[in-house]
Chains A and B, each alone.
Chain A
């Protein structure tokens, strides 16, 4: 069974750094792109960027380029989303999702709630 297991909820202060994770299982992790999607409180879905775990090729949405870093370690089937300096506006739920061969996101993690508050 394909599963994406995300790390737990985080409570951080503005200016702090953070790295959340997404561990894939039940399939060949290096072979499928992993996307990150943000959902701010009470809002819709925003596509942030994507990584191919086999060679770490990464593409970012212009809205998120320079604000976050996406990485992966195929040896432990895990993708990451990282911030160097959090802002209150980074508060939201972050989902990882596998991109299917048909290019849609067919499996999703359970989401990681990130709260940034002083």
Chain B
């Protein structure tokens, strides 16, 4: 199966600063990559799909860049509501697989 590796495991950022999260795959996934945000006690929420398309209601401060088997999720200016765990998921290869997550915490 396709192994998704996220880095770092934990990212400490001050509000207003930029956060950069990376996701690397062991196999190609084309544009079939999604990012999810999960807050404590809540279900995951879809942020971005199709490699770079924001889901409904997701603000423009979330963006994705990269190519090949690596993508970077950038949160341009962290808001208080952005502190959470972020997961990438490839759905190009069977079975769909998630990264282990990156926790974005308040510095």
Interface size on B, residues (CB 8 A): 24
| Contact count A vs B, C-beta below 8 Å | 61
CB B69 to nearest CB in A, in angstroms, measures 18
Instruction: Report the separation of the CA atoms of residues A97 and B91 in the bound assembly, to the nearest whole angstrom.
Output: 14
User: Binding site of B, secondary structure by majority: helix, strand, loop or mixed?
Assistant: loop
* CB-CB contacts below 8 Å: A84-112 with B: 95, 97, 100, 102-106, 108-111
Interface residues of chain A, those whose CB is within 8 Å of chain B, are 35, 37, 44-47, 59-63, 95, 97, 100, 102-106, 108-111
- Name 12 A/B residue pairs within 8 A (Cβ), A-sorted: A45-B44, A47-B95, A59-B94, A61-B95, A61-B96, A100-B49, A103-B91, A104-B34, A104-B49, A104-B55, A105-B34, A105-B89
Give residues in B with beta carbon < 8 Å to A.
Answer: 1, 32, 34, 36, 38, 43-46, 49-50, 53, 55, 87, 89, 91, 94-101
